């Protein structure tokens, strides 16, 4: 969701900015642009559509400039049109790129119009450009002008600003949206995601909320929200494999689905030593705090929220801890009650999801025992702002539809559950047999990957339908919800998931011979109940697509298509069945010809509330 980049160097930055924008494409966007300063002043280049369109435009005449800013825009204020794309420019003097939303832009726009500024876009960003222009005209100091301007802004933003007569400095500011400054050899960069800058540097300074910074040839100056000079720590990122290409796979999503056996094995390796769970790797550097956890409250969005819903089943049944799970966008507006000894847990792939961050900031003041981020991005705002963190080991995930980040989240919360379940026992063997079982999970996921062709065959009849129902029970109910979300996201087939027991309380009315019903039915304690629900569908001539193992006794037949899944233990089943539904959604999306890695209207990192 919107990507921002800037560069200041001795070499021509235009190709570097283009390269960086390509690396930000995974975030989702609908237009792209860049601006540079050359002999003739600020030159702006913008295109609706993909970065490739912008590249085609620039190939005709590539700018030659030592300073520039670039952007991929996901429309919020104003349609995806060239005039609304970034950079936005004020009176040929100031150019701005911006991520986030300026909430008070209407009032500022009216004020600037009265002052004589003419607007050429519908964006909130143009307000920032004119505001900086106004202050720059008065102060003749770009750093001071940006500081003064951001003091008038309400909302969330990360901005990069340059002035036509200052080709030697780039001023940036953040409030609620991430900004990473990349330090190269005699050159400096900035981006909303460090991934965009990995070809140029592995040394980063992550700005904090309220910071305004000036990048110049002689170094980086940062002022905090109080206007005090501060030094933010320089961090070296481990970039092995980051931004790697698709390899032999047709899409990043397929590659990432296939990376799951390794990612799951890495997750176990990172948290277990000599058959014992490592509390510190699971976030508990403070062992005493681990003993005091009496309840858990999980908050997340989308797919990560589904991982939280599965976690509730585990934390209650295995660790015997009360657990509640909330959507981050709902949580802080419902005035939640915090039970004694409650641990606040966020789940997030990106660690930059605005709703989840806002929930964390609310929770930090709400009297929880502690805050734990379970996250895939070590340098993210969520990790930096949480008291404790547990890093999932999925590696960079590029496909917008989350796959390996989800299954490693599941495994991480499962390991956390086992730690909490056995924390009071002195018996070092406690939990060992469950851990031993979990070591098999990679092999079982591998078995599911080998079913890809069979699952593809199942997707063929599915793609002709406009709608589908997903059914599951127990921890497989949230997996059914995740399966429905995956199908919706990338194939655009409408899908809803229900706990199977709910079928007869309403959705059964939808079932006829045109309704595909995708059911998860591993042989477990709930199998008989699940089979009764499947019979209810069959009696209405619904088209069943069943994922089950041999022991269940469920057979293919008229109206019943079956994928025979490997037999798995109850704890591993959600992870293994999730992979099968990822493959189903993937094949359906390919058959329908959608843009699998960059589905319409969606963004990888949702940085606005």
489 binds ligand AGP (CB under 6 A): yes
Map the footprint of ligand AGP across residues 179-238, applying CB under 6 A. none
Map the footprint of ligand AGP across residues 291-330, applying CB under 6 A. 301-304
Per DSSP, the residues of 258-307 read: HTHHHHHHHHHHHHEETTEE-TTTTT-S-HHHHHH--EEEEEE-HHHHHH
Give me 363's structure tokens. Answer: 């929770």
**Residue 142 DSSP SS3:** helix
604: annotated active-site residue:
yes
User: Which of residues 257 and 526 has its CB atom nearest to ligand AGP in the complex?
Assistant: 257
User: Which of residues 237 and 405 has its CB atom nearest to ligand AGP in the complex?
Assistant: 405
386 binds ligand AGP (CB under 6 A): no
User: Which of residues 560 and 602 has its CB atom nearest to ligand AGP in the complex?
Assistant: 602
484 binds ligand AGP (CB under 6 A): no
Q: Which residues are bridge partners to 189 per DSSP?
A: 7, 182
Contacts of 336 (CB under 8 A, 6+ apart): 297, 326, 366
Q: Cβ 600 to ligand AGP, closest distance in Å?
A: 12
- In the bound state, the residue with its beta carbon closest to ligand AGP is 302
Give me 143's structure tokens. Answer: 């750093």
The residue within the footprint of ligand AGP, chosen from 99, 123, 402, 434 (CB under 6 A), is 402
Tell me, letter by letter, the H, E, C secondary structure of 548-587: EEHHHCCCCECCEEEEEECCCCCCCHHHHHHHHHHHHHHH
The residue within the footprint of ligand AGP, chosen from 42, 310, 401, 414 (CB under 6 A), is 401
Site map (CB under 6 A) of ligand AGP, residues 251-290, x = contact: ----------------------------------------
380 binds ligand AGP (CB under 6 A): no
50: annotated active-site residue:
no
Q: Which stretch binds ligand AGP (CB under 6 A): 44-52, 110-118, 230-238, 347-355?
A: 347-355
The residue within the footprint of ligand AGP, chosen from 84, 88, 177, 356 (CB under 6 A), is 356
The residue within the footprint of ligand AGP, chosen from 349, 371, 381, 442 (CB under 6 A), is 349
Contact in structure between 394 and 247 (CB atoms under 8 Å): no
CA distances from 419 to 30, 97, 171, 526 (A): 44, 45, 46, 26
Give me 92's structure tokens. Answer: 């040929």
412 binds ligand AGP (CB under 6 A): no
Contacts of 124 (CB under 8 A, 6+ apart): 76, 77, 98, 101, 102, 105, 155
CB atoms within 10 A of CB 560: 17
Q: Which stretch binds ligand AGP (CB under 6 A): 65-73, 346-354, 424-432, 587-595?
A: 346-354
The residue within the footprint of ligand AGP, chosen from 260, 350, 392, 530 (CB under 6 A), is 350
348 binds ligand AGP (CB under 6 A): yes
Q: Which stretch binds ligand AGP (CB under 6 A): 35-43, 71-79, 260-268, 350-358?
A: 350-358
Q: Which residues are bridge partners to 7 per DSSP?
A: 68, 189
Name the phi and psi angles at 107, rounded to 5: -60, -45
395 binds ligand AGP (CB under 6 A): no
The span from the CA of 415 to the CA of 408, in Å, is 10
CB atoms within 10 A of CB 409: 30
The residue within the footprint of ligand AGP, chosen from 299, 400, 487, 571 (CB under 6 A), is 400
Q: Which stretch binds ligand AGP (CB under 6 A): 65-73, 145-153, 316-324, 344-352?
A: 344-352
**Residue from 574, 545, 585, 550 nearest 562 by CA:** 545
User: Which of residues 441 and 608 has its CB atom nearest to ligand AGP in the complex?
Assistant: 608
Please list the active-site residues.
2, 604
Contact positions toward ligand AGP, by CB under 6 A?
301-304, 348-350, 353, 356, 400-402, 489, 602, 606
């Amino acid at each position: 969701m919107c990507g921002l980049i800037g560069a200041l160097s001795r070499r021509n930055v235009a190709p570097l900015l283009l390269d960086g924008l390509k690396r930000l494409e995974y975030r989702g966007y609908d237009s792209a642009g860049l601006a540079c300063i050359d002999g003739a002043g600020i030159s702006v280049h913008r295109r609706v559509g993909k970065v490739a369109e912008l590249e085609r435009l620039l190939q005709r005449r590539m700018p030659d400039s030592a300073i520039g800013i670039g952007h991929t825009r996901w429309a919020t204020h104003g349609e995806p049109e060239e005039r609304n794309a970034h950079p936005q420019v004020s009176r040929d003097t100031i150019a701005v790129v911006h991520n986030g939303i300026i909430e008070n832009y209407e009032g500022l726009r009216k004020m600037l119009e009265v002052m004589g500024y003419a607007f050429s876009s519908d964006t909130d960003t143009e307000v920032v450009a004119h505001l900086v222009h106004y202050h720059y005209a008065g102060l003749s100091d770009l750093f001071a002008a940006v500081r003064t301007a951001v003091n008038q802004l309400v909302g969330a933003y990360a901005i990069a600003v340059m002035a036509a007569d200052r080709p030697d400095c780039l001023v940036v500011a953040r409030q609620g949206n991430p900004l990473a400054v990349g330090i190269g050899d005699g050159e400096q960069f900035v981006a909303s995601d460090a991934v965009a800058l990995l070809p140029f540097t592995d040394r980063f300074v992550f700005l904090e909320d309220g910071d305004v910074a000036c990048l110049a040839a002689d170094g980086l100056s940062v002022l905090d929200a109080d206007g005090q000079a501060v030094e933010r720590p320089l961090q070296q990122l481990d970039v092995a494999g980051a931004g790697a290409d698709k390899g032999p796979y047709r899409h990043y999503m397929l590659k990432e689905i296939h990376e799951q056996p390794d990612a799951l094995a890495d997750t176990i390796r990172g948290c277990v030593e000599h058959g014992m769970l490592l509390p510190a790797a699971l976030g508990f550097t403070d062992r005493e705090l681990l003993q005091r956890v009496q309840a858990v409250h999980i908050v997340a969005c989308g797919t990560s929220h589904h991982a939280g819903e599965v976690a509730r089943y585990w934390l209650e049944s295995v660790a015997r801890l009360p657990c509640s799970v909330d959507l981050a966008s709902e949580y802080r507006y419902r005035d939640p009650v915090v039970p004694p000894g409650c641990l606040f847990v966020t789940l997030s792939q990106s660690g930059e999801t605005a709703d989840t961050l806002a929930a964390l900031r609310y929770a930090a003041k709400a009297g929880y025992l502690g805050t734990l981020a379970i996250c895939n991005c070590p340098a993210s705002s969520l990790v930096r702002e949480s008291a404790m963190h547990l890093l999932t080991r999925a590696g960079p995930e590029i496909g917008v539809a989350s796959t390996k980040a989800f299954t490693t989240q599941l495994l991480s919360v499962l390991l956390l559950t086992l730690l909490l379940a056995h924390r009071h026992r002195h018996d070092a063997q406690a939990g060992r047999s469950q851990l031993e079982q979990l070591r098999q999970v990679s092999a079982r996921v591998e078995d599911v990957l080998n079913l890809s062709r069979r699952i593809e065959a199942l997707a063929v009849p599915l793609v002709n339908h406009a709608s589908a129902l997903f059914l599951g029970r127990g921890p497989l109910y949230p997996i059914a919800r995740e399966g429905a979300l995956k199908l919706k996201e990338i194939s655009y087939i409408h899908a809803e998931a229900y706990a199977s027991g709910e079928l007869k309380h309403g959705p059964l009315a939808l079932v006829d011979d045109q309704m595909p019903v995708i059911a998860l039915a591993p042989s477990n304690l709930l199998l008989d109940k699940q089979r009764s629900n499947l019979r209810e569908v069959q009696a209405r001539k619904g088209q069943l697509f069943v994922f089950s193992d041999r022991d269940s006794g469920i057979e293919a037949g008229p109206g019943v298509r079956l994928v025979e899944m490997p037999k798995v233990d109850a704890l591993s089943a959600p992870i293994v069945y999730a992979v099968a539904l990822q493959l189903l959604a993937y094949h359906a999306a390919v058959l329908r010809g959608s843009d699998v890695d960059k589905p319409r209207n969606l963004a990888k990192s949702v940085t606005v509330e």
